[in-house]
């Protein structure tokens, strides 16, 4: 769609140039005309020409700016601002008590995509507090997946990466992609982690809301 709009704007600009150049070349053999009338026509034509040229240049400049903004949007869409490790370490220290915000067990995830909330899905997570890493697995409407990532007990945030298992769930959505990045921070008022998910594949680029809440201790 954007490519067609860009082409139409260029064609429009070129048509204005062609029409005006043909108009400027005409009017050479029309009989006897007064010198004063010819001068007035010449001045008026020049002014009109400058106005037309200015319109073309402004139109072309606006088209280029819009195209550049669209290109930047395509490049950055679905891409998180920071890597997981940098994300969990960039916030200021806010955990001033001894509560464990990262217990092993069952968690539920809720995310917003395609103008709709996708129901809470259960997943299990295990946190290694010595290495500040997290691993787990779960299943949603796309398919079964594994999770790995990092967390910060000081900043109360997580940076997770989802990897879907090819051949599970919805074959039209499950591409076996490992580019689902999730960045979450603790929301004290709602007693859960909240943030955004980011997806970037050859066919799909997007980001939106993601929520993660602890449900209970994992029993083995």
Bridge partner list, 123 = 107, 138
Please return the burial class of 125, using the count of CB atoms within 10 Å of its CB with bins 0-12, 13-18 and 19+.
buried
- Region 189-213: what's the mean pLDDT? 92
pLDDT in tens, 72-116: 666 666 567 667 777 777 765 555 566 889 999 999 999 999 899
Handedness of CA 33, 35, 36, 39 (dihedral sign): positive
The 10s digit of each residue's pLDDT in 132-141 is: 999 999 999 9
Alpha helices (runs of H) in 77-136, residue ranges in sequence order: 84-89
Contacts of the segment 161-167: beta carbons below 8 A, 24+ positions apart: 161/84, 167/143
Supply 199's token pair. 């997806």
pLDDT tens digits, 163-187: 999 889 988 888 776 679 999 999 9
- The whole-angstrom separation of Cα 52 and Cα 47 is 9
Phi-psi region of 176 (alpha: psi -120 to 50; beta: other; left: phi over 0): left
């Amino acid at each position: 769609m954007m490519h067609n709009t860009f082409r139409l704007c260029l064609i429009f600009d070129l048509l204005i140039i062609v029409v005006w150049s043909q108009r400027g070349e005409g009017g050479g053999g029309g009989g006897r005309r007064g010198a004063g009338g010819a001068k007035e026509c010449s001045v008026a034509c020049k002014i009109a020409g400058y106005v037309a040229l200015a319109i073309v240049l402004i139109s072309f400049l606006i088209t280029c700016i819009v195209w550049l903004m669209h290109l930047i949007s395509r490049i950055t869409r679905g891409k998180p601002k920071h890597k997981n490790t940098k994300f969990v370490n960039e916030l200021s220290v806010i955990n001033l008590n001894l509560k464990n915000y990262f217990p092993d067990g069952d968690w539920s995830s809720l995310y917003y995509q395609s103008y709709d909330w996708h129901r809470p899905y259960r997943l299990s997570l295990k946190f290694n507090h010595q290495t500040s890493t997290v691993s787990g697995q779960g299943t949603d409407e796309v398919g079964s997946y594994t999770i790995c990532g990092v967390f910060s007990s000081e900043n109360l945030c997580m940076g997770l990466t989802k990897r879907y298992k090819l051949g599970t769930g919805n074959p039209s959505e499950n591409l076996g992609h490992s580019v689902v990045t999730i960045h979450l921070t603790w929301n004290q008022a709602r007693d859960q982690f909240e943030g955004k998910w980011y997806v970037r594949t050859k066919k799909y680029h997007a980001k939106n809301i993601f929520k993660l809440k602890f449900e209970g201790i994992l029993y083995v």
